[in-house]
Structure 1
Amino acid sequence: MGLTNGLSSGEGWARMVRPFFPTDMIVIEATPRKLYQSIAERIAATIADGRYPPGARLPSERELAEEHAVSRPTIREAMIALEIRGLVEARHGSGVYVIHAPRAADIAPELDVGAFELIEARTLFEGEAAALAATTIDMATLRTLDDLLERMHDATSDTAFAADRDFHLTIAEATGNSLIRSTIETLWDVRERSPLCVNMFARARREGVTPRVDEHRRIVDALRDGDAPAARDAMRAHLSRVTADLLEATRLDLIERAQAEADAQRDRVSRRHIA
């Protein structure tokens, strides 16, 4: 097909494509800073400028949440991020203390994904995946889920946690949508590779948090009934409970390492007095 209106081929092509590529196109940043990262940066800045020098006790979690107008889980993630960086430490029954001032180059580091942010994404994707799976799941897959529930009872080993992952990925697979399955698997990979997530879930395990078999069974029951809304609700309720467990297990005054350090300090003092 030729170009008309007396235009050369180059001029005609340019006019045809120009409307689809506006020169004032808005560029959107691909990786916006996460909220807890911004809060961690703000707190690090207050440490750097001397408001909270090394040795100072930071305000309580509640006070920081009010000061920065964010939730307490966001403050908790920010505190753990700062602790991983070696700027603060939690002391049992006392609070969080500054141990080092950040260098100027360290005030805005690239922090990784936090557990609460991860669970929020999982709730969105896995809730809908469960609803879709309820309309497509077969008996063989239901039997697989039943077997995984039995493996979750083995809470004394890594078996229960491996079964938990397999359980959720089996439901994702049951949707029949490879992209959904891949997305949910990626979220689980984040849980296992993100230093902040690994840190928070490890603390939860030390506090005795294990997969809740009864919650997983309610998901299976809804899938077996082919009840999409019930499957979605059961999955969301389960992940809401995971959030609650993390909040409890990662309370700053329950960090075992801080307790161990305090005990070691008392032992050193006792030995000096005995000597």
Structure 2
Amino acid sequence: MSARLKLYQRVAQEIEQRISGGEYPPGTRLPPERDLAEAFEVSRPTIREAMLALEIRALVEVRHGSGVYVVEQLPAASPPRELNVGAFELVEARLMFEGEGAALAARVMTDAQLHELDAILEQMEALDPASPEELALDRLFHMTIAEGTQSSLVAQAIEHLWDLREQSPLCRHMFQQARRSGINPRPGEHRRIYEALKAGDSDGARTAMRAHLTRVSEDLLAVTELELIEKARNEISEKRRRITQS
């Protein structure tokens, strides 16, 4: 498998090759998520991103109460692979960069930047949780911390990660699903980050930032489960509709 591919893409490519090679024939059920995670030595989130990629390519489908199956009729040609980053992979990178970025900012952030951060946070706390403005403020909050490191390279790296969140189809899909499921930025977690930064507590800022981003990852994991449940409900509703019309 090519090292140039993202982790979830490498898993998806391997499964696609097994499908085309006949190991997973059309109509057969793929191994359970836990088994695939163990076989590929990756996390459950990576398997879910791979399944979503295969679903986008019309190679697999989710069946209620049964699992993920290879489609009965494989497409004539495999669609181009999506060259983007999965949401879980993105959050892992943010954990590393923004966690250490917060630790650095706690030591060197200026009073003016702390004041700006507090003003952003107050705006976030005053908004309705579902407000589109909160998403922009969420990014601004994190970017203000990144700029507070006084390192243009750190700030550029973190800005690039935020850009990927909007540019990647997989990321957009999962974060939009989170919004539809009622999962929004939590100002309380941002407030704890701010308080550690204000106190100049490097370890506390790192811990608070990592705790916040870990919660984001956990929310996304819950969203993928909710999405499968919603698909199952839709399938049941459609079956009932067909029965009542017959």
- Normalising by the smaller structure, the TM-score range is 0.7 to 0.9
- The equivalences for 1:181-220 within 5 A come to 181-220=155-194
Instruction: Tell me how many residue pairs correspond in the alignment.
Output: 242
Percent same amino acid at aligned positions?
Answer: 57
1:229 to partner: Cα distance: 1.5
Distance in 2, Cα, partners of 1:148 & 1:47: 50
Q: What amino acid maps onto 1:221 in structure 2?
A: E
Go from structure 1 to structure 2 and tell me whether the alpha carbon gap of 1:230 and 1:71 turns closer, same or farther (over 3 Å shift).
same
Go from structure 1 to structure 2 and tell me whether the alpha carbon gap of 1:162 and 1:255 turns closer, same or farther (over 3 Å shift).
farther
Select which of 138, 147, 154 maps to 1:180: 154
- What does residue 38 of structure 1 align with? 10
Q: What amino acid maps onto 2:209 in structure 1?
A: M
Runs of 4+ in 1 over 6 A off after TM superposition: none
Q: Does 1:270 align with 2:206?
A: no
Distance in 2, Cα, partners of 1:149 & 1:90: 40
- What does residue 100 of structure 2 align with? 128
Query: Partner of 1:239: helix, strand, or coil?
Result: helix
Q: Does 1:243 align with 2:223?
A: no
Distance in 1, Cα, partners of 2:107 & 2:86: 32
- What does residue 169 of structure 1 align with? 143
What is the Cα-based RMSD across aligned positions, in Å?
Answer: 2.3
Go from structure 1 to structure 2 and tell me whether the alpha carbon gap of 1:66 and 1:164 turns closer, same or farther (over 3 Å shift).
same
Gaps of 5+ in 2: none
- What does residue 50 of structure 1 align with? 22
What TM-score, normalized by structure 2, do the two folds share?
0.88
Go from structure 1 to structure 2 and tell me whether the alpha carbon gap of 1:178 and 1:229 turns closer, same or farther (over 3 Å shift).
same
Go from structure 1 to structure 2 and tell me whether the alpha carbon gap of 1:156 and 1:102 turns closer, same or farther (over 3 Å shift).
same
1:126 to partner: Cα distance: 0.9
Query: Partner of 2:172: helix, strand, or coil?
Result: helix
What TM-score, normalized by structure 1, do the two folds share?
0.79
Query: Partner of 1:96: helix, strand, or coil?
Result: strand
Select which of 29, 50, 54 maps to 1:82: 54
User: Which of structures 1 and 2 has the bigger CA Rg?
Assistant: 1
Query: Which has the larger displacement, 116-125 or 219-228?
Result: 116-125
Query: Partner of 1:106: helix, strand, or coil?
Result: coil
1:148 to partner: Cα distance: 2.5
- The equivalences for 1:226-237 within 5 A come to 226-237=200-211
- What does residue 142 of structure 1 align with? 114
Gaps of 5+ in 1: 1-28
1:262 to partner: Cα distance: 4.1
Distance in 2, Cα, partners of 1:84 & 1:199: 11
- What does residue 70 of structure 2 align with? 98
1:217-266 Cα offsets, whole Å, 9 max, x none, are: 11100000011121111111111111111111112763534532442243
Q: Is the 8 A contact 2:37 2:44 kept in 1?
A: yes
